[in-house]
Protein backbone atom coordinates (compact mmCIF):
# COMPACT_ATOMS: atom_id res chain seq x y z
CA UNK A 1 0.00 0.00 0.00
CA UNK A 2 1.06 3.56 -0.64
CA UNK A 3 0.23 6.73 1.23
CA UNK A 4 -2.01 9.33 -0.40
CA UNK A 5 -1.72 12.87 0.92
CA UNK A 6 -3.88 15.78 -0.20
CA UNK A 7 -3.63 19.36 1.15
CA UNK A 8 -5.91 22.35 0.60
CA UNK A 9 -5.46 25.75 2.25
CA UNK A 10 -6.98 29.22 2.02
CA UNK A 11 -6.42 32.57 3.68
CA UNK A 12 -9.66 34.05 4.98
CA UNK A 13 -9.97 37.76 5.76
CA UNK A 14 -11.73 37.21 9.06
CA UNK A 15 -10.54 36.67 12.65
CA UNK A 16 -9.61 33.12 13.57
CA UNK A 17 -12.16 33.18 16.39
CA UNK A 18 -14.95 33.97 13.93
CA UNK A 19 -13.94 31.13 11.60
CA UNK A 20 -13.35 28.79 14.54
CA UNK A 21 -16.88 29.40 15.82
CA UNK A 22 -18.18 28.29 12.41
CA UNK A 23 -15.95 25.22 12.51
CA UNK A 24 -17.47 24.20 15.85
CA UNK A 25 -20.87 23.90 14.15
CA UNK A 26 -19.62 21.38 11.58
CA UNK A 27 -21.93 18.38 11.40
CA UNK A 28 -24.67 20.04 13.43
CA UNK A 29 -28.26 20.73 12.47
CA UNK A 30 -27.34 24.32 11.49
CA UNK A 31 -23.97 23.44 9.91
CA UNK A 32 -22.96 26.57 7.92
CA UNK A 33 -19.98 24.96 6.19
CA UNK A 34 -20.52 21.51 4.71
CA UNK A 35 -21.77 21.96 1.12
CA UNK A 36 -25.25 20.52 1.32
CA UNK A 37 -27.56 19.86 -0.41
CA UNK A 38 -25.25 19.27 -3.38
CA UNK A 39 -23.34 16.70 -1.30
CA UNK A 40 -24.63 14.42 1.48
CA UNK A 41 -24.46 16.18 4.86
CA UNK A 42 -21.87 15.43 7.52
CA UNK A 43 -23.63 13.75 10.41
CA UNK A 44 -22.54 12.20 13.74
CA UNK A 45 -24.16 10.01 16.36
CA UNK A 46 -23.63 12.67 19.03
CA UNK A 47 -22.55 16.33 19.32
CA UNK A 48 -19.18 17.18 17.82
CA UNK A 49 -16.43 15.90 20.09
CA UNK A 50 -13.87 13.12 20.48
CA UNK A 51 -15.52 9.78 19.83
CA UNK A 52 -18.38 11.11 17.69
CA UNK A 53 -18.96 8.58 14.92
CA UNK A 54 -20.42 9.33 11.50
CA UNK A 55 -19.35 10.72 8.16
CA UNK A 56 -20.88 11.93 4.92
CA UNK A 57 -22.29 9.69 2.23
CA UNK A 58 -20.28 6.50 1.96
CA UNK A 59 -17.22 8.08 3.66
CA UNK A 60 -17.17 7.05 7.32
CA UNK A 61 -14.97 8.40 10.12
CA UNK A 62 -14.75 9.15 13.84
CA UNK A 63 -13.61 12.32 15.62
CA UNK A 64 -10.15 11.50 16.97
CA UNK A 65 -9.08 14.96 18.20
CA UNK A 66 -10.97 18.18 18.79
CA UNK A 67 -9.64 21.57 19.82
CA UNK A 68 -12.69 23.87 19.81
CA UNK A 69 -12.35 26.68 17.33
CA UNK A 70 -8.97 25.48 16.05
CA UNK A 71 -8.74 21.84 14.95
CA UNK A 72 -10.80 18.73 14.23
CA UNK A 73 -9.19 15.44 13.24
CA UNK A 74 -11.18 12.52 11.86
CA UNK A 75 -9.91 8.93 11.67
CA UNK A 76 -11.38 6.88 8.84
CA UNK A 77 -13.37 3.83 9.93
CA UNK A 78 -14.65 0.80 8.07
CA UNK A 79 -11.23 -0.68 7.40
CA UNK A 80 -9.62 2.38 5.80
CA UNK A 81 -6.22 3.35 7.24
CA UNK A 82 -5.95 7.12 7.40
CA UNK A 83 -7.30 10.44 8.62
CA UNK A 84 -8.28 13.93 7.59
CA UNK A 85 -8.32 17.13 9.59
CA UNK A 86 -9.21 20.77 9.31
CA UNK A 87 -7.37 23.50 11.20
CA UNK A 88 -7.68 27.25 11.70
CA UNK A 89 -4.50 29.24 12.37
CA UNK A 90 -4.46 32.99 13.15
CA UNK A 91 -2.39 35.17 10.83
CA UNK A 92 -3.25 38.43 12.52
CA UNK A 93 -6.18 40.19 14.17
CA UNK A 94 -8.25 40.15 10.98
CA UNK A 95 -7.16 37.08 9.03
CA UNK A 96 -6.47 33.37 9.39
CA UNK A 97 -5.38 30.35 7.41
CA UNK A 98 -7.74 27.39 7.03
CA UNK A 99 -6.13 24.10 6.04
CA UNK A 100 -7.53 20.67 5.26
CA UNK A 101 -5.21 17.68 5.09
CA UNK A 102 -6.10 14.13 4.10
CA UNK A 103 -3.70 11.23 4.49
CA UNK A 104 -4.51 7.58 3.88
CA UNK A 105 -2.80 4.32 3.00
CA UNK A 106 -4.62 2.75 0.06
CA UNK A 107 -4.27 -0.59 -1.74
CA UNK A 108 -3.87 -0.54 -5.52
CA UNK A 109 -7.57 -0.73 -6.40
CA UNK A 110 -8.59 2.09 -4.07
CA UNK A 111 -5.60 4.14 -5.17
CA UNK A 112 -6.73 3.87 -8.80
CA UNK A 113 -10.25 4.93 -7.80
CA UNK A 114 -8.79 7.85 -5.84
CA UNK A 115 -6.75 9.00 -8.82
CA UNK A 116 -9.53 8.63 -11.40
CA UNK A 117 -12.50 10.01 -9.51
CA UNK A 118 -12.29 10.60 -5.78
CA UNK A 119 -9.39 13.06 -5.68
CA UNK A 120 -11.22 15.60 -7.85
CA UNK A 121 -14.48 15.15 -5.95
CA UNK A 122 -12.78 15.41 -2.56
CA UNK A 123 -10.97 18.55 -3.65
CA UNK A 124 -14.20 20.12 -4.87
CA UNK A 125 -16.00 19.40 -1.60
CA UNK A 126 -13.12 20.88 0.44
CA UNK A 127 -12.97 24.01 -1.71
CA UNK A 128 -16.74 24.41 -1.38
CA UNK A 129 -16.32 24.20 2.40
CA UNK A 130 -13.75 26.99 2.12
CA UNK A 131 -16.18 29.01 -0.04
CA UNK A 132 -18.82 28.65 2.67
CA UNK A 133 -16.33 29.70 5.34
CA UNK A 134 -15.63 32.90 3.42
CA UNK A 135 -19.33 33.62 2.84
CA UNK A 136 -20.32 33.00 6.45
CA UNK A 137 -17.31 34.73 8.03
CA UNK A 138 -17.05 37.78 5.77
CA UNK A 139 -20.51 38.14 4.21
CA UNK A 140 -18.84 38.33 0.82
CA UNK A 141 -19.29 35.78 -1.94
CA UNK A 142 -16.03 34.37 -3.33
CA UNK A 143 -15.77 33.10 -6.89
CA UNK A 144 -17.24 29.61 -6.41
CA UNK A 145 -15.16 26.55 -7.17
CA UNK A 146 -15.96 25.03 -10.55
CA UNK A 147 -17.28 21.48 -10.64
CA UNK A 148 -15.50 19.66 -13.43
CA UNK A 149 -17.38 17.30 -15.80
CA UNK A 150 -15.82 14.38 -13.92
CA UNK A 151 -17.07 15.69 -10.58
CA UNK A 152 -20.56 16.36 -11.96
CA UNK A 153 -20.69 12.84 -13.39
CA UNK A 154 -19.70 11.24 -10.08
CA UNK A 155 -22.20 13.43 -8.24
CA UNK A 156 -24.93 12.21 -10.60
CA UNK A 157 -23.93 8.55 -10.28
CA UNK A 158 -23.76 8.65 -6.48
CA UNK A 159 -26.99 10.57 -6.01
CA UNK A 160 -29.40 8.87 -3.64
CA UNK A 161 -32.16 6.73 -5.13
CA UNK A 162 -35.87 6.75 -4.23
CA UNK A 163 -37.11 3.95 -2.02
CA UNK A 164 -40.47 2.22 -2.29
CA UNK A 165 -42.90 3.01 0.56
CA UNK A 166 -46.57 2.69 1.31
CA UNK A 167 -48.58 5.68 0.19
CA UNK A 168 -48.41 7.85 3.36
CA UNK A 169 -51.58 8.45 5.33
CA UNK A 170 -50.77 12.18 5.09
CA UNK A 171 -51.34 11.97 1.30
CA UNK A 172 -55.04 12.49 1.91
CA UNK A 173 -55.82 13.91 -1.52
CA UNK A 174 -54.40 10.80 -3.19
CA UNK A 175 -56.24 8.44 -0.84
CA UNK A 176 -59.52 10.24 -1.53
CA UNK A 177 -58.99 10.72 -5.27
CA UNK A 178 -61.20 7.81 -6.33
CA UNK A 179 -63.88 5.74 -4.66
CA UNK A 180 -62.08 2.72 -6.10
CA UNK A 181 -58.34 2.46 -6.72
CA UNK A 182 -56.97 -0.24 -9.03
CA UNK A 183 -53.30 0.63 -8.55
CA UNK A 184 -51.18 2.70 -6.21
CA UNK A 185 -47.52 3.07 -5.34
CA UNK A 186 -45.21 5.61 -3.71
CA UNK A 187 -41.53 6.52 -3.88
CA UNK A 188 -39.75 8.60 -1.27
CA UNK A 189 -36.50 10.51 -0.75
CA UNK A 190 -35.08 12.44 2.20
CA UNK A 191 -34.81 16.20 1.94
CA UNK A 192 -31.22 17.36 2.35
CA UNK A 193 -30.42 20.49 4.39
CA UNK A 194 -31.23 23.57 2.34
CA UNK A 195 -33.68 21.90 -0.05
CA UNK A 196 -37.08 23.56 -0.52
CA UNK A 197 -39.78 22.53 1.93
CA UNK A 198 -42.59 24.15 -0.05
CA UNK A 199 -44.72 21.79 -2.16
CA UNK A 200 -44.96 24.51 -4.81
CA UNK A 201 -41.25 24.11 -5.65
CA UNK A 202 -41.71 20.40 -6.32
CA UNK A 203 -44.99 20.97 -8.09
CA UNK A 204 -43.37 23.42 -10.47
CA UNK A 205 -40.69 20.89 -11.34
CA UNK A 206 -43.19 18.08 -11.99
CA UNK A 207 -46.24 19.67 -13.51
CA UNK A 208 -46.85 20.28 -17.18
CA UNK A 209 -49.71 20.49 -19.65
CA UNK A 210 -50.18 16.72 -19.39
CA UNK A 211 -50.55 16.83 -15.59
CA UNK A 212 -52.56 19.85 -14.39
CA UNK A 213 -53.01 20.52 -10.67
CA UNK A 214 -56.32 19.20 -9.39
CA UNK A 215 -55.87 19.88 -5.66
CA UNK A 216 -53.65 21.26 -2.89
CA UNK A 217 -53.86 20.73 0.87
CA UNK A 218 -51.56 20.35 3.89
CA UNK A 219 -48.23 20.02 2.08
CA UNK A 220 -49.66 17.84 -0.70
CA UNK A 221 -50.23 18.70 -4.34
CA UNK A 222 -52.34 16.44 -6.51
CA UNK A 223 -51.90 16.40 -10.27
CA UNK A 224 -53.78 14.27 -12.74
CA UNK A 225 -55.95 13.72 -15.72
CA UNK A 226 -58.94 11.60 -16.66
CA UNK A 227 -59.06 9.61 -19.88
CA UNK A 228 -61.38 7.09 -21.52
CA UNK A 229 -59.30 4.10 -20.48
CA UNK A 230 -58.04 5.25 -17.04
CA UNK A 231 -57.95 8.10 -14.51
CA UNK A 232 -54.53 9.03 -13.14
CA UNK A 233 -53.41 11.05 -10.12
CA UNK A 234 -49.87 11.91 -8.98
CA UNK A 235 -49.40 13.10 -5.38
CA UNK A 236 -46.43 15.19 -4.28
CA UNK A 237 -46.20 15.23 -0.49
CA UNK A 238 -43.52 17.24 1.34
CA UNK A 239 -43.61 16.38 5.05
CA UNK A 240 -41.43 15.19 7.92
CA UNK A 241 -38.19 15.92 6.08
CA UNK A 242 -39.14 13.78 3.07
CA UNK A 243 -40.67 14.15 -0.35
CA UNK A 244 -42.99 11.40 -1.58
CA UNK A 245 -44.23 10.87 -5.12
CA UNK A 246 -47.35 8.72 -5.05
CA UNK A 247 -49.53 7.41 -7.85
CA UNK A 248 -53.14 6.23 -7.82
CA UNK A 249 -54.94 4.86 -10.88
CA UNK A 250 -58.52 3.91 -11.66
CA UNK A 251 -59.02 1.73 -14.74
CA UNK A 252 -61.94 1.74 -17.17
CA UNK A 253 -63.10 -1.22 -19.21
CA UNK A 254 -60.96 -3.91 -20.80
CA UNK A 255 -58.95 -1.36 -22.80
CA UNK A 256 -57.73 0.27 -19.60
CA UNK A 257 -56.75 -3.03 -18.02
CA UNK A 258 -54.84 -4.15 -21.11
CA UNK A 259 -53.10 -0.78 -21.44
CA UNK A 260 -52.06 -0.66 -17.80
CA UNK A 261 -50.90 -4.28 -17.83
CA UNK A 262 -48.03 -3.00 -19.98
CA UNK A 263 -47.58 0.43 -18.40
CA UNK A 264 -47.33 -0.88 -14.83
CA UNK A 265 -44.00 -2.55 -15.67
CA UNK A 266 -42.53 0.74 -16.95
CA UNK A 267 -44.16 3.06 -14.42
CA UNK A 268 -41.92 2.30 -11.38
CA UNK A 269 -38.78 3.01 -13.40
CA UNK A 270 -40.17 6.28 -14.74
CA UNK A 271 -41.47 7.40 -11.32
CA UNK A 272 -38.10 6.72 -9.68
CA UNK A 273 -36.24 8.46 -12.49
CA UNK A 274 -38.49 11.51 -12.35
CA UNK A 275 -38.27 11.91 -8.58
CA UNK A 276 -34.49 11.40 -8.52
CA UNK A 277 -33.92 13.93 -11.32
CA UNK A 278 -36.10 16.57 -9.68
CA UNK A 279 -34.53 15.92 -6.27
CA UNK A 280 -31.04 16.51 -7.69
CA UNK A 281 -32.11 19.50 -9.80
CA UNK A 282 -33.62 21.29 -6.81
CA UNK A 283 -30.59 20.44 -4.65
CA UNK A 284 -28.21 21.93 -7.21
CA UNK A 285 -30.32 25.08 -7.41
CA UNK A 286 -30.62 25.54 -3.63
CA UNK A 287 -28.62 28.17 -1.68
CA UNK A 288 -25.29 26.97 -0.31
CA UNK A 289 -24.72 26.39 3.41
CA UNK A 290 -22.74 29.65 3.53
CA UNK A 291 -25.52 31.60 1.82
CA UNK A 292 -28.06 30.16 4.24
CA UNK A 293 -25.85 31.11 7.19
CA UNK A 294 -25.58 34.71 5.96
CA UNK A 295 -29.35 34.87 5.42
CA UNK A 296 -29.96 33.79 9.02
CA UNK A 297 -27.86 36.61 10.44
DSSP for 223-246, written as a single string: EEEE-SSEEEEEEEEEETTEEEEE
Distance CA 103, CA 114 (A): 12
pLDDT at position 183 is 94
H helices within 68-118, ranges in order? 108-113
Contact 230, 258 (CB under 8 A): no
**pLDDT mean for each 10 residues of the chain (297 residues):** 91 97 94 96 96 94 97 91 96 96 91 90 96 94 89 95 96 95 96 90 71 89 90 94 96 88 91 94 93 82
pLDDT at position 70 is 97
- Written as one string, the DSSP assignment of 264-290 is HHHHHHHHHHHHHHHHHHHHHHSPPHH
Distance CA 51, CA 75 (A): 10
pLDDT at position 208 is 60
Handedness of CA 44, 47, 50, 51 (dihedral sign): negative
43: number of Cβ within 10 Å: 16
pLDDT at position 297 is 67
pLDDT at position 227 is 86
Amino acid sequence: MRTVRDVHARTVQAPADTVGALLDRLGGADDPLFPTPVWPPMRFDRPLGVGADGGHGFVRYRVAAYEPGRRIRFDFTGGEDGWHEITVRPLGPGSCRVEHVLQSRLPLGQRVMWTLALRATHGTVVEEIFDNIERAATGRAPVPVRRSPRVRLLNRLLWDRPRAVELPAAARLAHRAFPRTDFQDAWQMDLLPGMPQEPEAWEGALRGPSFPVVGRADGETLLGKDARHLDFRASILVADGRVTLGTVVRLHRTAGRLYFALVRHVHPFMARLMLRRIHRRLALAAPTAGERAVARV
